[in-house]
Structure 1
Amino acid sequence: MNTSVSVIYYTSKTLKNGNHPLMLRIIQNRQTKYISLGVNINPKFWDIKKNEPKRNCPNREAIQRLIIEKMKEYTDKIINLKVEKREFTAKSLIDKVNTPVKRMNVNDLFLQEIAQLKKEGRIRYAECHDYVYKSLLKFNKHLDIYFSEIDVQWLRRYETWLRGEGNSENTIGIKFRTLRTMYNIAIKEGYVKAEFYPFKDYKVSKLHENTPKRAIVKDNVIKVMNHKEPVSNSSYNQL
């Protein structure tokens, strides 16, 4: 995929004040799209040869900073898409860059999920999530953090803290499975990138305690089957 991003002093459009707008031109597989930078400049303040504002241009530094930031925003997105081997068009690239990133911290997503589970009548699941929520709150003191901040080291500290609180292996496992579920919801809803997912390296499956089996030994089963109840005297008397 051949992609180019460049700044264009768009002389094809002249505003009422005689200025021309600054645009970004995105070319992707021969498809060209333009997007306004929200800035228009009078021709006497734009250096055509250097393709930049002249030294005497009002707000020159702010305009240059805007150009650099926007160029970086688009080139970073292009690199990420190529690394992920995802196809895109010039238009979809613009949409991806301009779509606001959804933000929700751990605290708010937990409360939202608990409320939704109660609304659906899934009370036991809601209570389980609330139980884990309160545990996390006690451990971290607050949950005004984003899911990207919960990494492997964070999970290990939480596990150590839970053990110090006297939690059993299975109880710890339940709490981590619930936290993992919430992390997956955060990824699905776009609140955190999948690349930050810590449970690829931190295995929740290890948090399991085998319950002793209450099986009867085969020899004992045979004894029970062959056992005959003694006939009591009262039984004879009833005949």
Structure 2
Amino acid sequence: MIPDIRTVNVTRYVTPLKEGGSLPAVAEADDDFLYVLKFRGSGQGPKALIAELLGGEIARALGLRVPEIVFAQLDPAFGRTEPDQEIQDLLKASVGLNIALHYLSGSITFDPAVLSIDPLTASRIVWLDCLITNVDRTSRNTNMLWWNKQLWLIDHGAALYFHHTWTDWRQKAAQPFTLVKDHVLLPWATELAAVDAEYRSLMTPAFFEGLVCLIPTSWLSPSEAGFPDEDAQRAAYAEFLSIRAAHSGIFVKEAQHARQTLV
């Protein structure tokens, strides 16, 4: 089922989150909720927002917990009174549609050395990150939160890194994810074969074709990527993910092999 993504208007810049590579911030919207706002004007650009959207909603479709994702509209007048010049420049460059995740107040960074995780959950997260080629779930930065006694996944902006060049993207779709060796949950991922059988049937071409329709036109750059129009670029995202899911056995074997070298 394709999610219905709400759109909110950003009303207040609360505080920057300096640890994020894309200079995210906590912001308030016109629905009176707080969000972690990620800006299209950051150095990583709209591609990080596309990866955030697709990666987060794929995780949700697989039954994993992700904070609600919304489109966040930034008005041209927003941030004019911001005293920090770097932040003001970022806000000016991000006018229009951005992305935000519901702020989990009181959450803590998940540390598997302190909080236990079961093998099935670990295997599901490893499988997800192999599918979307997420390089950013390491011991240095787990991008997982513990909130209300539950595990939540955040920050998928570094996933789908193939779209930074679009070179030989069909071939890349069927390649193993060698960086799984650095995945923070790999030592606990003993159920990858069972998860693969469960998840492969959920990740269908029809699902991906519907999902990519959510990508806002303003985030796409078809001419830069070598496509005739935005619909063609959306279709390429869907095809990449469909190929990857159909060849999941390749990245599962890579993950299993990498795990054997750890244990």
TM-score greater than 0.5 by the shorter chain: no
TM-score for both structures, normalised by structure 2: 0.23
Which has a greater percent of helix? 1
Larger Rg computed on CA atoms = 1
